[in-house]
Amino acid sequence: MLDRPLRLGTRKSPLALAQAEEAKARLIAAHGLADGDVELVAVTASGDRIQDRPLAEIGGKALWTKELDAWLLGGDIDFAVHSAKDVETIRPDGIALAAFLPREDVRDVLVGAASIAALPPGARVGTSAPRRAAQLLHARPDCTVLPFRGNVATRLAKLAAGEADATFLAAAGLNRLGETGTGHPLAPEDWLPAPGQGAIAIECRGDDARMRTLLAEVDHAPTRHAVLAERGLLAALGGNCHSAVAVLTTLAGGELRLRAALFSPDGAERIEGEARFAPGDRDGPAQLAGELLARAVPAISAHFAGAGRQSA
């Protein structure tokens, strides 16, 4: 029996609220709670307020989390929900990644053309993600990348207004917003997704034993193992907000297969590697990172610090 409603922190964007509602519903179902036992507390994150510049120029992934981090550490909320791909690799002391919900579709969706190959010559493609930009320019160096930020509706409106010929969105976000049928999903084997893409991460204070116990009931172990492997790779690479990293993790025969590619920001250089290891093995992702960095040309390695030092 709860002595008061649990306070769930979330950003105010439509997708963030949809993810928070999913987390709330799963927690209520797992523990037989009433709807009023979990209260959503929404904040406008810096990343939502500042839309005219790439994240890498104004603070990186912390712009999605810092307000909720402060509320969590200050006791204003009991737990917080994030898109796993937006959570910094190095988290503040006192905050624990307590649960991951079942992963959604990891694919990117191309809006404006049926495929990368079908983009018209010299197409203007809107994206502010280094991974998407570099992966596009590697496949289609004739294209031009334009900065494109905002929520799903904003980016689709920019596209409709002719600000670009095409853009990318995450299939998971479209599905959670009920926007299925928008654009053309890209095969993840050919167009590698972002680390953490499609997964919802739930954080709480590390010393909040009650909250950690409650959240353990909604934790999806396969998603946790895959996302933590991808985060382990990022930590060992020591990337920053300008680093272009793409990964695909699959589970087969009781092993994780982690396939990763690193790009130079202009897409001209690309290296790829993969590793197989048991779920929960921290050495596997780190060894893959070391192998990739050992083979990386300066145009790629200049954007990775290695040794787990991530600056953004």
**Is the per-residue pLDDT at 44 higher than 90?**
no
Query: Would you mind telling me the total number of residues written for the chain in this entry?
Result: 312
pLDDT of residue 1: 63
Hey, what domains does the chain have and what are their CATH numbers? 6-101+199-219 (3.40.190.10), 108-185 (3.40.190.10), 230-301 (3.30.160.40)
Does 108 qualify as catalytic in the annotation? no
- pLDDT range class, residue 2, cuts 50, 70, 90: confident
Residues with Cβ < 8 Å from 52, sequence gap 6 or more?
149
Is pTM, for the whole model, over 0.85?
A: yes
Q: Which two tokens stand for residue 49?
A: 């307020």
Mean pLDDT (the chain, rounded)? 92
Tell me what pLDDT residue 61 has.
Answer: 52
Distance, CA of 70 to CA of 92 (rounded, Å): 10
**What is the residue type of 39?**
E
The 3 state secondary structure assigned to 251-288 is EECCEEEEEEEEECCCCCCEEEEEEEECCCCCHHHHHH
Higher pLDDT, 102 or 2: 102
Residue 233: Cβ-neighbour burial (10 angstroms; 0-12, 13-18, 19+): buried
Residue 235 token pair: 């930590």
pLDDT of 307 strictly over 50: no
DSSP H or E run through 289: helix 283-295
Residues 33 and 41: beta-carbon distance below 8 Å: no
Residues 54-91 pLDDT 10s: 545 544 455 668 889 999 999 999 999 999 999 999 99
CB burial of residue 36 (10 Å; 0-12, 13-18, 19+): exposed
- 79-83, 149-153, 193-197, 293-297: which has the minimum mean pLDDT? 149-153
> Which residue in 86, 105, 108, 165 is the catalytic one?
86
Higher-confidence position of 252 and 96: 96
